[in-house]
Chains A and B, each alone.
Chain A
């Protein structure tokens, strides 16, 4: 009997990013700008990927706005895109208002239930009573369909499965097989809804760590295709248990994204031609250390 080794999934950033092709339907995690694969988004901008249709979580932030500003996105499934307490995500607003970005009008429950339908292999997922009172179903008739409830005959709104080709998110730590404890709010569903999964992680832990905390695992290695170790990979968002968000950098980003010229300046300073280490140096290592939780 020959013995094969269990496959470890850690790859270089360049290899993981090359899995994203022009025109793909991809899903990107993160809760607001937190726990988001922000370094990965910067890599996609650097590489000039085009024409993506992007499915974010219920609440998108920097990780999506920088992709829009970087010219990578043609269509966005949108429940919310903003910068949390700082207000508007300026690229999202600018590109939507100029008609350059096609926005598919979701609410968070509709988006999430489409992803849940995908994870569970269902034909569609119903929305609760009262949904007809909001205007989303009128603004997005391709996704929200009104049908008679087969049991009561009442009108019910249903959403179809949403199955992205790829899901990318950032986790504080995972093992080499892709098991991760992600304290965010939705990754458990998002990673099961997509065909393939890439994790970026601040830390790689031994399998014994997973085994000692197995009841807390939210992302199952079974679904994970590739892992990239990226220190501060969620910066300028927070990474649970590791570092909090960088308020100063977020404000700098928000101000820069107000128009094309200043946003280009931001990309030149932090993104184009820069490795992640060079990005972190440009932010300043002293500031990063001060974001540490402990």
Chain B
């Protein structure tokens, strides 16, 4: 991309979408679930910039390569089929989740994420009478075994980022370096790649598989990340700033979001 001037004013969801978009590779196929405006915007941005051959599937509406020209609140809305190039019903999506030729990456978030990138969507406490009842595991178990997984959150609090999740819906590295292998993980699956939050990005240490601070969004600090994270992330001696959206990326995101949904997300 020719433009390198970075935008000064943007919202957290916009820097998150720009970051995710740059990590997608041309020719790949991704899938996202409900309430996924950030991944959807990232896929559209990638297609419009460096990855014209990217494919994306919106699971809740079954639309392949939606060309709906603007973000809407419910991606389960059948209007996602505007301009789509195909329809793939959910059970076929699931059958394809085991096929390495099909999905390269997926996205998810939940109400608890731990230092090994495990995700909880189910409950806290006793299953029969939980302290907190979450919506349920839904597609996160299946998405966890795609080639790469991006976790994204709309908040960054110690209650969300915990040392150990109470229930594993979407397995990350489970309990460390051997966790996925012991669970029978398909060899092709790299596991969680990044956790993208409104204030920073975590990746995972190659050896211990623990979350490591990769970059902090401009305007936020390492100290702030430390105090707002309930687990102790690995913090390298030098932590760069997340590269903000450039003017071209931001212009695209603004045009794609005329109702300004992104600023209301985080």
Q: How far is the CB of B151 from chain A (nearest CB, A)?
A: 15
In contact, B170 and A134 (Cβ under 8 angstroms): yes
In contact, A31 and B76 (Cβ under 8 angstroms): yes
Indicate whether A130 reaches chain B with its CB closer than 8 angstroms.
yes
Return the CB mask of A241-254 against B: 1 if under 8 Å, else 0. Answer: 10011010000000
Indicate whether B79 reaches chain A with its CB closer than 8 angstroms.
yes
In contact, B127 and A240 (Cβ under 8 angstroms): no
Q: How far is the CB of B37 from chain A (nearest CB, A)?
A: 8
CA distance A12 to B58 in the complex (A): 36
CA distance A245 to B79 in the complex (A): 11
In contact, B74 and A32 (Cβ under 8 angstroms): yes
Known: A85-B35, A112-B90, A130-B171. Is A136-B133 also a contact (CB below 8 A)?
A: no
Q: What B residues does A107 contact at CB under 8 A?
A: 136-142, 169
In contact, A135 and B122 (Cβ under 8 angstroms): yes
Indicate whether A274 reaches chain B with its CB closer than 8 angstroms.
no
Known: A59-B76, A80-B136, A135-B169. Is A185-B145 also a contact (CB below 8 A)?
A: no
Interface size class of A (residues with CB under 8 A): 35 or more
A46-54, A96-104, A162-170, A257-265 - interface stretch: A96-104
Indicate whether A43 reaches chain B with its CB closer than 8 angstroms.
no
Residue of A nearest to B142 (CB): A109
Indicate whether B51 reaches chain A with its CB closer than 8 angstroms.
no
Q: Which of B47-66 contact A (CB under 8 A)?
A: 59-62
Known: A85-B74, A139-B122. Is A130-B145 also a contact (CB below 8 A)?
A: yes
Q: What A residues does B4 contact at CB under 8 A?
A: none
Q: Of the candidates B79, B122, B141, which one forms a contact with A109 in the assembled complex, judged by CB atoms under 8 Å apart?
A: B141
In contact, B76 and A34 (Cβ under 8 angstroms): yes
In contact, A79 and B137 (Cβ under 8 angstroms): yes
In contact, A134 and B171 (Cβ under 8 angstroms): yes
In contact, A133 and B174 (Cβ under 8 angstroms): yes
Residue of B nearest to A97 (CB): B133
In contact, A129 and B141 (Cβ under 8 angstroms): no
Q: Which of B153-197 contact A (CB under 8 A)?
A: 167-171, 174, 179-180, 183-186, 189
Q: What A residues does B140 contact at CB under 8 A?
A: 107
In contact, A34 and B77 (Cβ under 8 angstroms): yes
Indicate whether B81 reaches chain A with its CB closer than 8 angstroms.
yes
CA distance A103 to B144 in the complex (A): 23
10 nearest CB pairs, A to B: A133-B183, A133-B171, A80-B138, A99-B129, A240-B78, A82-B135, A107-B137, A96-B133, A80-B136, A107-B141
- Supply 30 A–B pairs (Cβ within 8 Å), ascending by A: A32-B76, A58-B139, A59-B34, A78-B136, A84-B35, A92-B133, A93-B133, A96-B123, A96-B130, A105-B136, A106-B137, A108-B137, A108-B138, A109-B97, A128-B142, A129-B186, A130-B184, A130-B185, A130-B189, A131-B183, A134-B170, A139-B167, A154-B184, A183-B81, A185-B59, A185-B60, A186-B90, A238-B78, A240-B78, A244-B79
